[in-house]
């Protein structure tokens, strides 16, 4: 009798756990993740990656000269992020169609977002990519984005993340580092999407 009661208890706990979860678990790939769907992304055949906006992004720890450099390299950073997401989504081959700013067709998801911060870093952390420095002292980029059902407009997931480190440091660090950080961030966003597939 004791074994039967214990078995019933475990079965009920398992059933309650399954029914209590009304969204997919967070993939734990990016800094902050929110999931608003219980349906895996495998239900979609197309994913459209939009260009992330830089409008309103905070420029932190940048002097006037560095702010000019940022304006010059923003298009490269935006391009690198978008192309990296597309490349890494195609590499996995899970979605039938991966579009770069195209028109959604069929059952589609739109990936959209914005850059929220460009941080030039502080002191020696600027030149050594912030090795062992707090995030606020490192040269980094921050983004926020979301996955949206193209047909209904329903938000399926939201995320934000900060990417620091990368190659290309030294005196030309903004030109060398931030585009690499954008490429690395695109790979992580694609990984986040894959884990929801």
> 67 falls in which pLDDT band (50, 70, 90)?
very high
Any alpha helices (H) in 21-168, and if so which ranges?
A: 64-92
DSSP 8-state assignment for residue 158: E
Residue 71's pLDDT is: 96
Are 115 and 143 in contact by the 8 Å Cβ rule? The answer is: yes
pLDDT (0 to 100) of residue 7:
47
Mean pLDDT computed over 138-144: 93
Of 188, 153, 154, whose CA–CA distance to 27 is shortest? 188
Q: What's the pLDDT score for residue 105?
A: 87
For residue 165, pLDDT beyond 80: no
Query: What's the pTM value of the predicted model, to 2 decimals?
Result: 0.84
First to last CA, the chain: 43
Mean pLDDT (the chain) is 86
Asked if 152 and 164 count as a contact pair (C-beta separation under 8 A), the reply is no
Minimum mean pLDDT range among 10-19, 115-124, 152-161, 171-180: 10-19
At the second CATH level, the architecture of 23-196 is 3-Layer(aba) Sandwich (3.40)
- pLDDT tens per residue across span 78-124: 999 999 999 999 999 999 999 999 899 899 999 999 999 999 887 65
pLDDT at 192 (0 to 100): 98
Task: Determine contact, residues 111/104, Cβ cutoff 8 Å.
Answer: no
Q: Where are the domains of the chain?
A: 23-196
């Amino acid at each position: 009798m004791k074994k039967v009661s214990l078995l019933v208890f475990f079965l009920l706990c398992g059933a309650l756990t399954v029914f209590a979860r009304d969204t997919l678990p967070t993939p734990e790939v990016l800094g902050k993740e929110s999931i608003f769907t219980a349906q895996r992304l495998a239900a979609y055949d197309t994913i459209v990656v939009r260009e992330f906006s830089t409008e309103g992004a905070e420029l932190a720890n940048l002097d006037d000269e560095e702010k000019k450099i940022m304006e010059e390299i923003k298009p490269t950073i935006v391009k690198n992020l978008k192309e990296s997401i597309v490349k890494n989504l195609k590499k996995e081959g899970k979605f039938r169609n991966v579009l770069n700013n195209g028109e959604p067709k069929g059952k589609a998801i739109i990936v959209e977002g914005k850059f929220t911060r460009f941080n030039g870093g502080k002191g020696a952390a600027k030149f050594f990519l912030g090795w062992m420095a707090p995030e606020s002292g490192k040269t980094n980029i921050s983004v926020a984005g979301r996955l949206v059902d193209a047909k209904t407009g329903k938000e399926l997931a939201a995320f934000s993340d900060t990417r620091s480190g990368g190659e290309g440091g030294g005196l030309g660090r903004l030109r060398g580092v931030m585009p690499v950080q954008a490429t690395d961030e695109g790979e992580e966003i694609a990984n986040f999407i894959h884990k929801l597939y």
